[in-house]
Amino acid sequence: MNQVTRNAAVLLLSATACFSLTVQADESESYGQTVGRKLSTGLANIAASSLEIPKNIIIINNQSNVIYGFVGGTLKGLLNMGGRIGVGVLDLVSAPVPTQPIVYPLYVWDNFDAETTYGKAFRPSR
C-alpha cells in the first residue's frame, strides 16, 4: 500500500468516525438526519469491518479458552466482517429510504464487548 492510499484511508476513516459520533439513530430524527446516518454508518461499517476479527477473538476468548478463542473468534469475526460489509453496502445503496439500523452495535467500536447482532430493517415506527 503506497503512502497516498494509506493517507486517504486514514482520512476517510477519521472523517467517518467524526461524523458518526454526532449522528446517532433516533426515533425522532428528520429525513435528512436519517440519510446522513445511513451514509455515515454505511461508510464506517465498510471501512472498519475488519475490527470484527479481533473483537470476536476477545469475546470468545473471554467465554472459553485461548485456542478456541483464536480459531472460533477468527471464523466468527470473518462472518461478522462480511455481515458488516453487506449492511454497509445496503445502507449506502438505500440511504434515501428511511429505515432503522440493521446491525447492533451500530458501529463496531460501540460497546466492543457486545456481540454483533442483526435485526429487521423495515420495522414499524414506535
Which segments of the chain does DSSP mark as H helices, in order?
Answer: 3-22, 31-47, 52-63, 66-93
Q: What is the pTM of this model?
A: 0.70
**How confident is the model at residue 89, as a pLDDT?**
96
Joined together, the cell numbers standing for residue 6 give 494509506
Q: ∠ at Cα 101 (91, 61), nearest 5°? A: 105
Closest listed residue to residue 121, CA positions, set 112, 110, 97: 97
The model's confidence at residue 123, banded by pLDDT at 50, 70 and 90, is: low
Note whether 107 and 20 are within 8 A (CB): yes
The model's confidence at residue 18, banded by pLDDT at 50, 70 and 90, is: very low
